[in-house]
Amino acid sequence: MAIYLDYAATAPMPSAVVDAYAAALRLVGNPSSIHSQGQESKRVLEEAREKVAASLGADRVEVTFTGGGTEAVNLGIKGLFWSSPHRRILVPMAEHHATIEAVEWLEQHEGAIVDWIPVDAVGRIDLAALEAKIGPDVALITLLLANNEIGTIQPVEQVVALAAQHGIPVHVDAIAAYGYLPIDFHALGVAALSVSAHKIGGPVGIGALLIARSATIVPLVHGGSQQRGRSGTQDAAGAAAFGVAAGLIHPPSSALRDRLITGVLDSVPGAVLRGDPVERLPGNAHFTFPGCEGDSLLFLLDSAGFSVSTGSACQAGVPEASHVLLALGLDEPTARGALRFTLGADTTETEVDALLAALPEAVRRASIAGLA
């Protein structure tokens, strides 16, 4: 049986989530219908909304369910941009592709002016560079709470403080951080925040955008106004499963992550940890292995019974260097030798030790393949 070390791509669904999902799928009423069956669906939906809100320090009215994390990011960024009279968007260079492609689309089709803010060698936003770009003509700032590839936690509180001086709304992509870091939407003071259910053991195909009461969002989809900022019949079953998953959040062990990091650095000469060594997600261990292709390492470990990744699952199968690592200043050959291990609450010491035993041979074989 394969050892699963790719929780950042998607987390397994606990049996309680599967059971809740299956039970809710048997409901036949539309949550917008006023008959008793419709109202039962609405009750299930709204109870789930309350659970998701509670897991994020938000009010129920601030939770808009979406078709996943990518839609939530697009709604947050485009909705805030369209509601602003200004045209400039400030974005760090190492964001997820959902953000990158959303702002590039706005640049190409909606007249947006995108200012890319550099990051340092561990992927943290350059606050001085951000401050130099902030002005009264900025429509919004968008950034990750924690990097989905290298795990670095961003100084969101400081970004929000800078933005607040000019009344600039901030959207935070918290998809990689949800379930791994405590998130308090009200304390962060952001205008919008995106999350995804399947990153915390919920189903694929449902996410949420938290929209502050004070924020204005122009919808992506019109027709029905079932939710604030989003039209369309709501997925009561997906929401029910999402709500159960939100109530079962249990972050992985930072100590186990550190055991993995230390073991890799001790057993594989030349391996380099990427991302901040301390201020990083508790389940994330990301390395580059000189002389190796990340894809070769992935396939060798897969054949040995380990599920890992080279970076974002959204770019899986695309043979190119990670834009995140290039933004850190790495050259392309180095960036192509990346591998990401991500742990969950159920990951055990035995599984980590098994990986550490198998990794050196995989690196040796990948190095030979790289020289061929």
CA–CA separation, 211 vs 62, rounded Å? 5
Look at residues 226, 206, 221 and name the one whose alpha carbon lies nearest to residue 33. 226
**Token pair for 144:** 């990750």
List of residues 6+ apart from 86 with CB closer than 8 A: 136, 137, 138, 139
Question: What's the first-to-final CA gap in the chain, in angstroms?
Answer: 31
Distances, alpha carbon 18 to alpha carbons 32, 41, 153, 241, 262, in Å? 24, 18, 31, 7, 36
Catalytic residue check, 292: no
Residue 210 backbone dihedrals phi, psi, to 5 degrees: -85, 125
DSSP-derived letter for residue 280 is B
The answer to whether 81 and 275 are in contact (CB under 8 A) is no
The per-residue DSSP string of 286-338 comes to EEE-TT--HHHHHHHHHHTTEE-BSS-GGGTT--S--HHHHHTT--HHHHTTE
63 in helix, strand or coil?
strand
| Angle value at C-alpha 277, between 271 and 281, nearest 5 degrees | 110
The answer to whether 94 and 274 are in contact (CB under 8 A) is no
- For helices 97-109 and 69-82, what crossing angle results, to 10°? 30
CB-CB neighbours of 214 under 10 Å? 8
Write down the catalytic residue from 18, 265, 314, 358. 314
CA–CA separation, 284 vs 277, rounded Å? 10
CA–CA separation, 292 vs 121, rounded Å? 21
Look at residues 307, 301, 311, 291 and name the one whose alpha carbon lies nearest to residue 369. 291
Question: What are the catalytic residues?
Answer: 314
